[in-house]
């Protein structure tokens, strides 16, 4: 009897389990109570909806960054925003893997109202492709046409999916024109050297293979220990997957497409291969190691904070903390500065990667949201100049004042920001604390100036940024399509091959390893990847013609 | 008796080997312990091998400033105690019945149980199951799914086989029910294995952060390790995320805070062992049999 | 036995009713087993239905059985992948170290502890050796990497002892990886794994040692003939369980110790599933690899037990 009962129990549960995939509205039909009349008569496209309804409401906001430490409601800026709009926010951050947690929320139908997520997360496309989020254009048409006044049309065009809908808005999106206009490019790729050491060596030119090797030889013979530190000659950020691939290719001005508009195979570019051989040569002579492929993040931080690296292919943004420490140490000149790095045989200017219309993270409104009209109104507010100001500068007279028509943070605020960033963020919550919908184009005009040890790195990147390069950002297929799987395999294989190339005992061995890789690459389905990228690139170009 | 004999060369070799083992095991703990007290300006420059040149409690302040740390401690202690007791009782009860000779269906039961050790459906079905059973966001999600494991069941079984059959037979002749035999003969005579499995289970529950991440949304129900894990979130960050965070000028959690979190998270459970050890000494069972 | 039964061949109904009677007789025992069976049905078997996704292209918005059936597509995808077989090779290599030398070390530690006559020292060693178990791999991995770096203590030690003339990047060489993983795992877990043997040793009757001593048995002989013989069932049990787990590795460990330079020896099956499946959200692919591994592991366990029955006549599990 018990046995039957148990079997029955199991069967019942099986059935219920099988039936309970979730049932999101896969069709992206407009929200309930679709009523064209409302749109036509009730809403004035010049009045933002957040000003008409400021009743108290709470929204959950998922920020897809496990490290995001701030909450809503304790700081001055968030209290001000809640007071103005009536919207109180509960910020939720993932504890473990972002995609894993969002997948579970999708399955259980408990998605938070607002979702901010990086496009590199593998559940990013699931959110809109499988119907878990609202099309923002539909919400805007129905509830808040003012939305179109606060989003840049090029951003809308860039992020509109093939079904004609806009599902999310990015933060930190940069258009080429804006970058050219403002000179702020969000470019971060630099070639850094330790200032005092580099100058003591006579500031050698390191942009040619010979110059690079000579400098390293000089370092080995005369400066292997410097001011009490054992010097590590070279570092490449992200190791073989980034620093020695895209990053180095950008310095060598390797193009993304040939003259005919076909996707260019950047890996087989002669200049790039030559520089990999230079690194191999340097390794053979004992001028560099492969520690940058092996070290943990803690070790890299330790070496940077002590000024143990000589030169680095490294994003300057990651060196802000270290440079601060070094500039305030007993050797105030031991911080890192940007110089001209490896260049191709023609001496072309590098194509340093700029910010792009992709932005950093994107914000969605989920279909589990019970008040999409308030969510879209809130989004509109945050994206507007007024919202940006409230978020970045706070309250006039209290945290910022207008001098000669230009709003700027008060001196006390700047002081607090530079000396006690933690208190600044938790009590006032200004500047970059709530970056989820930050529009850099707007806020950069209010940004206080950085110290010299930062600008000496960032200015170089801004000057050398390839402002038209945004179109090539994120061309690689993602998700679980065949092309994406092929791309992942090729990418992971390449990460293993680079160390083999650099530690190869001779140029012949180097060549044969590279040849074997290229054969592997074809067998993994390189043509699928190229096909995908070509299609995407052509579509993007069409968008801007 | 043996204690009278003089120490031989063999004894000294053992002592030397074990001292080496002790050193190798204690040095990592020492390293973590002292560096968790390192002052930030020292820690910035890397960890110290023996003793940091300046000390501070900053890292512990970061850990204890978390508003949920106390409720986390409570949940963890409660969970560890309840889960260990239920696991040991439930698994040992099934194991006792399974270890009896002549149990009808034993082979089938064994196969059913064995499969549970190797096959599992993965995260998604387990998650759906917890929701359907009403265990999602409930304290019992820590207890019920962990009440039984095949691995511990076979360990119990192998120990139960060493209990002299005569003990059980005599109890049965006295008219004791099977449950009574299990409760008053088998359990009291299995203190070493109960202590061992109890320790394994307690340590597992103490250290587990994953269930707190997946099955619990209410912050007041999160166990200590989940809270500490959140504090150190970027250890599991992908490089893309990390770059994004650094681009923002965010600070990565320093190694000091990681070490302090580890000390806070594991010191209490480490202290449990000496109490468990009492039950791992010779003759406990023999005494019971003779008595 | 079997032939006799065949000869008698009682009618089915008779047999059933006899079993029924027997079953009723041991209803108390059965009542103690069945809660376990029901528990397993609910918490282990229901989720197993989900293994079906290994044969589909699963999308989370679609109910389980409405996903497109693709047969063995995902199985073929990994079985024809060189990297899968490399991962199997690495996993087996690491497991081989773990279930041979690595398996003996906790036993030896338990034996040595058992030989200690000073109870207090014994307790101290026991406690100390179990401490590293509590360091998570995220932290232990980080510490090890800094100790293994070119300026780390291992290099300093080796150079000052004259074992090598210049610093070596230990973790950059794929050939070192298995050893690094094996040694670090041993250090971290030996004390912990010895506990179960210490528990087993407690059930040995001290009179056995006294009798052996009277017979003039030396300490090695007593260790071998009494201690080891008495804990043999426990050793056999744990050995079989270890063998059946030989396609698994410690994910956290390889995750934190691997890098692009040693990947050719550090990518185990768990890491392969992570890199090729989980990172890109390929539910069906990951489930297929896990399903395949489960089948092999289960078969291994049955094989070991079968061998034991053939060799010693007793079933260990």
**CB-based contact (8 Å) between A122 and chain B?**
no
Q: Pick the range with the lowest mean pLDDT from A17-26, A223-232, A472-481, C192-201.
A: A17-26
Share of chain A above pLDDT 90, in %: 55
**Which residue from A169, A68, A101 is spatially nearest to A380, judged by alpha carbons?**
A169
Q: Is pLDDT of B1 > 70?
A: no
Residue B2's pLDDT band (cuts 50, 70, 90): very low
Selected residue of C43, C261, C265 to mutate for chain A interface (largest A Cβ count, 10 A):
C261
Selected residue of C27, C33, C48, C198 to mutate for chain B interface (largest B Cβ count, 10 A):
C33
Nearest by CB to C150, from A126, A289, A478: name it: A289
Do A238 and B248 make contact, defined as CB atoms within 8 angstroms? no
Residue A444's pLDDT band (cuts 50, 70, 90): confident
Residue with more model confidence, A518 or C150? A518
d(CA A289, CA A233): 8
Task: State residue A480's pLDDT score.
Answer: 79
Q: Distance from B22 to chain C by nearest Cα, in Å? A: 6
Instruction: Say how many residues make up chain A.
Output: 545
For residues A77 and A386, the answer to whether their CB atoms sit within 8 Å is no
Reported as a single tens digit per residue, the pLDDT across B54-75 is 888 888 888 888 788 899 999 9
Selected residue of A95, A172, A322, A454 to mutate for chain B interface (largest B Cβ count, 10 A):
A95
Share of chain C above pLDDT 90, in %: 50
Task: State residue C10's pLDDT score.
Answer: 62
ipTM of the prediction greater than 0.90, yes or no = no
**Chain B residues within 8 A of A361 when measuring between CB atoms:** 244
Largest CA distance in chain A: 91
Q: How far is C-alpha C97 from the chain's CA centre?
A: 12
Task: State residue C52's pLDDT score.
Answer: 93
Q: Is pLDDT of A375 > 90?
A: yes
Reported as a single tens digit per residue, the pLDDT across C272-300 is 999 888 877 888 999 999 999 999 999 99
Q: Distance from C128 to chain B by nearest Cα, in Å? A: 6
Q: Is pLDDT of A31 > 60?
A: no
Q: Is pLDDT of A1 > 60?
A: no
For residues A368 and A109, the answer to whether their CB atoms sit within 8 Å is yes
Q: How far is C-alpha B108 from the chain's CA centre?
A: 30
Q: Pick the range with the lowest mean pLDDT from A534-538, B66-70, B109-113, B245-249.
A: B245-249
Confidence (pTM): 0.87
Reported as a single tens digit per residue, the pLDDT across C90-135 is 999 999 999 999 999 999 999 999 888 888 888 899 889 989 998 8
Nearest by CB to A432, from B47, B127, B248: name it: B248
Residue with more model confidence, A504 or A423? A504
Q: Which residue of C has its CA nearest to A484?
A: C280
**Chain B residues within 8 A of A95 when measuring between CB atoms:** 212-213, 226, 229-230, 233
Nearest by CB to A296, from C45, C59, C145: name it: C145
**Domain range B68-231, CATH class:** mainly alpha
Q: Is pLDDT of A2 > 50?
A: no
**Chains touching B by CB (3 or more pairs below 8 Å):** A, C
d(CA B55, CA C130): 28
Question: Residues C240, C241, C245, C250: is their CA dihedral positive or negative?
Answer: negative
Q: Is pLDDT of B233 > 90?
A: no
Task: State residue C204's pLDDT score.
Answer: 84
Beta strand pairing call for A232-236 and A57-63: unpaired
Q: Show which of residues 72-101 on chain A sit within 8 Å of chain C, judged by CB atoms.
A: 99
Q: Distance from A239 to chain C by nearest Cα, in Å? A: 8
Averaged pLDDT, B83-90 = 97
Share of chain A above pLDDT 70, in %: 92
Selected residue of B140, B192, B195, B240 to mutate for chain C interface (largest C Cβ count, 10 A):
B192
Task: State residue A41's pLDDT score.
Answer: 41
Task: State residue B239's pLDDT score.
Answer: 43
Phi/psi of residue A503, nearest 5 degrees:
-95, 5
**Which residue from B229, C32, C193, B184 is spatially nearest to A94, judged by alpha carbons?**
B229
Task: State residue C95's pLDDT score.
Answer: 95
Q: Which of A146-160, A208-222, B217-231 has the highest mean pLDDT?
A: A208-222
Q: Is pLDDT of A413 > 70?
A: yes
Q: Which residue of B has its CA nearest to A438?
A: B248
Q: Is pLDDT of B282 > 60?
A: no
**Chains touching C by CB (3 or more pairs below 8 Å):** A, B
Q: Which of A52-56, C58-62, C89-93 has the highest mean pLDDT?
A: C89-93
Do C132 and B255 make contact, defined as CB atoms within 8 angstroms? no
Task: State residue A21's pLDDT score.
Answer: 42
Structure tokens at A208: 């040619």
Do C60 and B124 make contact, defined as CB atoms within 8 angstroms? yes
**CB-based contact (8 Å) between A328 and chain B?**
no
**Which residue from B65, B59, B62, B28 is spatially nearest to B43, judged by alpha carbons?**
B59
**Chain B residues within 8 A of C46 when measuring between CB atoms:** 121, 125, 129
Q: Which residues contact B100 (CB under 8 A, 6 or more apart)?
A: B178, C26, C29
**CB-based contact (8 Å) between B242 and chain A?**
yes
Q: Which residue of A has its CA nearest to B234?
A: A67
**Chain A residues within 8 A of C47 when measuring between CB atoms:** 17
Task: State residue C118's pLDDT score.
Answer: 83
Q: Is pLDDT of A7 > 90?
A: no
Q: In the predicted model, what is the mean pLDDT of chain B?
A: 84
Domains and CATH numbers, chain C: 2-69 (no CATH), 82-312 (1.10.3720.10)
Q: Is pLDDT of A28 > 50?
A: no
Do C46 and A14 make contact, defined as CB atoms within 8 angstroms? yes
How many CB pairs lie under 8 A apart between chains A and C?
Answer: 125
Domain boundaries along the sequence of chain B: 2-62, 68-231
Q: Which residue has the tokens 């970045």?
A: A392
Q: Is pLDDT of B248 > 50?
A: no
Q: Distance from A279 to chain C by nearest Cα, in Å? A: 15
Task: State residue A281's pLDDT score.
Answer: 96
Residue with more model confidence, A453 or A479? A453
Instruction: Say how many residues make up chain B.
Output: 291
Q: Which of B6-10, B21-25, B52-56, C16-20 has the highest mean pLDDT?
A: B21-25
Q: Pick the range with the lowest mean pLDDT from A415-424, C262-271, C282-291.
A: A415-424
Do C262 and A294 make contact, defined as CB atoms within 8 angstroms? yes
Task: State residue B289's pLDDT score.
Answer: 41
Do A293 and C259 make contact, defined as CB atoms within 8 angstroms? yes
Phi-psi region of C162 (alpha: psi -120 to 50; beta: other; left: phi over 0): left
Reported as a single tens digit per residue, the pLDDT across A62-99 is 999 887 888 899 899 999 999 999 999 999 988 878 88
**Which residue from A163, A538, A292, A470 is spatially nearest to C149, judged by alpha carbons?**
A292
**CB-based contact (8 Å) between B158 and chain A?**
no
DSSP states of B140-187 as a string? GGGTGGGS--HHHHHHHHHHHTTS-HHHHHHHHHTT--HHHHIIIIIT
Averaged pLDDT, A501-508 = 95
Q: Which residue of A has its CA nearest to C266?
A: A496
Reported as a single tens digit per residue, the pLDDT across B94-146 is 999 999 988 889 999 999 999 999 998 888 889 989 999 999 989 999 999 99
Task: State residue A39's pLDDT score.
Answer: 46
Do B29 and C132 make contact, defined as CB atoms within 8 angstroms? yes
**CB-based contact (8 Å) between B108 and chain A?**
no
**CB-based contact (8 Å) between A228 and chain B?**
no
**CB-based contact (8 Å) between A479 and chain C?**
yes
Do C64 and A295 make contact, defined as CB atoms within 8 angstroms? no
Reported as a single tens digit per residue, the pLDDT across A308-359 is 999 999 999 888 888 988 998 899 999 999 999 999 999 899 999 888 888 8
Q: Which residues contact A465 (CB under 8 A, 6 or more apart)?
A: A179, A185, A187, A352, A353, A354
Task: State residue B29's pLDDT score.
Answer: 92
Domains and CATH numbers, chain A: 29-173+359-427 (3.40.190.10), 188-351 (3.40.190.10), 476-545 (no CATH)
Neighbours of A471 (CB within 10 A): 18
Give the angle subtended at the CA of A207 by the CAs of A205 and A211, to the nearest 5°.
55
Do C142 and B258 make contact, defined as CB atoms within 8 angstroms? yes
Reported as a single tens digit per residue, the pLDDT across C233-244 is 889 999 999 999
Do C121 and B121 make contact, defined as CB atoms within 8 angstroms? no
């Amino acid at each position: 009897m018990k046995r039957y009962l148990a079997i029955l129990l199991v069967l019942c549960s099986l059935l219920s389990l099988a039936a309970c995939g979730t049932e999101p509205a896969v069709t992206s039909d407009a929200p309930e109570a679709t009523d064209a009349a409302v749109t036509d008569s009730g809403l004035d496209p010049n009045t933002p909806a957040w000003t008409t309804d400021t009743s108290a409401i709470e929204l959950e906001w998922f920020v897809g960054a496990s490290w995001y430490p701030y909450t809503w409601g304790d700081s001055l800026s968030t209290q001000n925003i809640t007071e103005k709009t009536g919207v109180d926010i509960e910020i939720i951050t993932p504890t473990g893997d972002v995609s894993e947690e969002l997948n579970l929320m999708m399955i259980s139908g408990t998605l938070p109202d607002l979702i901010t997520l990086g496009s590199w997360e593998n559940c990013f496309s699931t959110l809109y492709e499988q119907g878990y989020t609202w099309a923002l254009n539909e919400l805007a048409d129905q509830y808040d046409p003012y939305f179109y006044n606060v989003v840049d049309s090029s951003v809308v065009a860039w992020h509109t999916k093939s079904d004609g809908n806009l599902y999310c808005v990015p933060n930190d999106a940069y258009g080429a024109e804006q970058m050219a206009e403002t000179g702020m490019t969000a470019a971060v790729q630099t070639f850094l050297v330790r200032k005092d050491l580099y100058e003591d060596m006579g500031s050698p030119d390191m942009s040619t293979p010979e110059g690079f090797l000579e400098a390293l030889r000089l370092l080995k013979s005369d400066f292997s220990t410097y001011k009490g530190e054992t010097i590590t000659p070279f570092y490449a950020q992200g190791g073989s997957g980034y620093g020695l691939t895209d990053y180095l290719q950008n310095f060598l001005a390797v193009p993304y497409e040939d003259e005919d508009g076909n996707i260019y195979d950047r890996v087989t570019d002669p200049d790039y291969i030559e520089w990999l051989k230079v690194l191999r040569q340097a390794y053979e002579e004992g001028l560099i190691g492969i520690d940058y492929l092996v070290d943990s993040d803690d070790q890299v931080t330790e070496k940077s904070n002590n000024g143990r690296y000589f030169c680095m292919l490294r994003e300057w943004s990651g060196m802000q903390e270290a440079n601060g420490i070094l500039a305030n140490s007993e050797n105030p000149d031991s911080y890192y500065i940007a110089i001209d790095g490896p260049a191709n045989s023609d001496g072309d200017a590098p194509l340093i990667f700029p910010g792009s219309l992709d932005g950093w993270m994107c914000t969605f409104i989920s279909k589990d949201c019970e008040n999409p009209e308030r969510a879209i109104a809130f989004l509109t507010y945050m994206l507007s100049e007024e919202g940006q100001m409230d978020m970045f500068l706070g309250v006039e007279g209290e945290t910022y004042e207008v001098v000669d028509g230009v709003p700027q943070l008060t001196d006390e605020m700047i002081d607090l920001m530079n000396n006690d960033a933690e208190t600044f963020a938790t009590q006032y919550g200004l500047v970059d604390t709530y970056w989820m919908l930050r529009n850099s184009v707007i806020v950069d005009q209010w940004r206080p100036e950085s110290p010299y040890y930062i600008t000496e790195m960032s200015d170089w990147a801004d000057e050398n940024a390839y402002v038209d390069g945004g179109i090539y950002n994120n061309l690689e297929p993602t998700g679980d399509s065949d092309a994406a799987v092929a791309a992942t395999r090729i990418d992971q294989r390449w990460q293993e091959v680079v160390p083999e190339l650099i530690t190869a005992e001779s140029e012949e061995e180097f060549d044969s390893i590279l040849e074997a890789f290229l054969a592997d690459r074809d067998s993994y389905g390189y043509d699928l990847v190229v096909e995908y990228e070509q299609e995407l690139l052509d579509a993007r170009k069409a968008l801007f013609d | 008796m043996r204690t009278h004999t003089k120490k031989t060369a063999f004894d000294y070799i053992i002592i030397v080997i074990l001292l080496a083992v002790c050193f190798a095991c204690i040095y990592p703990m020492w390293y973590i312990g002292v560096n968790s007290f390192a002052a930030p300006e020292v820690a910035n420059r890397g960890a110290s091998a023996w003793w940091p040149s300046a000390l501070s409690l900053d890292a512990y302040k970061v850990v204890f400033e978390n508003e949920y740390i106390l409720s986390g401690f409570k949940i963890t202690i409660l969970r560890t105690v309840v889960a260990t007791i239920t696991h040991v009782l439930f698994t040992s009860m099934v194991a006792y019945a399974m270890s009896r000779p002549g149990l009808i269906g034993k082979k089938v039961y064994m196969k059913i149980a064995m499969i549970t050790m190797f096959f599992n459906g993965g995260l998604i079905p387990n998650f759906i199951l917890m929701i359907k059973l009403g265990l999602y966001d409930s304290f019992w999600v820590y207890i019920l799914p962990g009440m039984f494991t095949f691995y511990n069941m076979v360990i119990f079984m192998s120990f139960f086989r060493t209990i002299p059959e005569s003990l059980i037979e005599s109890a049965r002749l006295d008219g004791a029910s099977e449950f009574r035999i299990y409760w008053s003969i088998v359990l009291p005579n299995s203190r070493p294995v109960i202590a061992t499995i109890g320790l394994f289970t307690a340590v597992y529950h103490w250290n587990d952060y994953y269930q707190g991440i997946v099955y619990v949304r209410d912050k007041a129900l999160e166990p200590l390790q989940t809270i500490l894990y959140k504090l150190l979130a970027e250890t599991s960050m992908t490089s893309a995320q990390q770059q994004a965070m650094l681009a923002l000028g965010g600070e990565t959690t320093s190694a000091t805070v990681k070490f302090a979190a580890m000390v806070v998270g594991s010191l209490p459970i480490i202290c449990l062992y000496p109490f468990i050890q009492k039950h791992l000494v010779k003759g406990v069972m023999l005494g019971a049999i003779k008595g | 036995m079997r032939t006799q039964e065949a000869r008698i061949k009682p009618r089915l109904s008779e047999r059933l009713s006899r079993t029924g009677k027997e079953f009723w007789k041991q209803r108390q025992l059965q009542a103690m087993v069945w809660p376990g069976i029901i528990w397993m049905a609910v918490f282990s078997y229901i989720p197993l239905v989900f293994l079906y996704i290994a044969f589909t292209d699963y999308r989370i918005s679609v109910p389980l059985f409405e996903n497109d059936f693709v047969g063995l597509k995902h199985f073929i995808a990994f079985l024809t992948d060189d990297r899968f077989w490399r991962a199997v090779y690495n996993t087996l290599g690491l497991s081989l170290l773990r279930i041979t030398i690595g398996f003996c070390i906790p036993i030896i530690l338990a034996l040595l502890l058992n030989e200690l006559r000073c109870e207090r020292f014994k307790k101290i060693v026991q406690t100390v050796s179990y401490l590293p178990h509590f360091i998570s791999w995220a932290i232990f991995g980080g510490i090890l990497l800094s100790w293994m770096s070119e300026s780390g203590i291992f290099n300093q030690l080796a150079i000052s002892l004259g074992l090598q003339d210049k610093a070596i990047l230990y973790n950059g060489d794929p050939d070192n990886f298995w050893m690094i993983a094996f040694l670090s795992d041993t250090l971290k877990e030996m004390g912990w794994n010895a506990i179960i043997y210490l528990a087993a040793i407690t059930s040995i009757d001290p009179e056995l040692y006294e009798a052996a001593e009277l017979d003039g048995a030396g300490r090695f002989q007593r260790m071998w003939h009494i201690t080891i013989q008495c804990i043999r069932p426990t050793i056999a049990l744990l050995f079989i369980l270890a063998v059946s787990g030989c396609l698994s590795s410690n994910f956290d460990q390889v995750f934190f110790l691997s890098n692009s330079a040693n990947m050719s020896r550090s990518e185990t099956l768990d890491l392969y599933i992570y890199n090729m499946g989980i990172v890109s959200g390929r539910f069906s692919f990951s489930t297929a690899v896990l399903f395949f591994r489960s089948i092999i592991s289960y078969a291994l366990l049955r094989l070991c037990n079968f061998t034991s029955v053939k060799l010693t006549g007793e079933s260990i599990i």
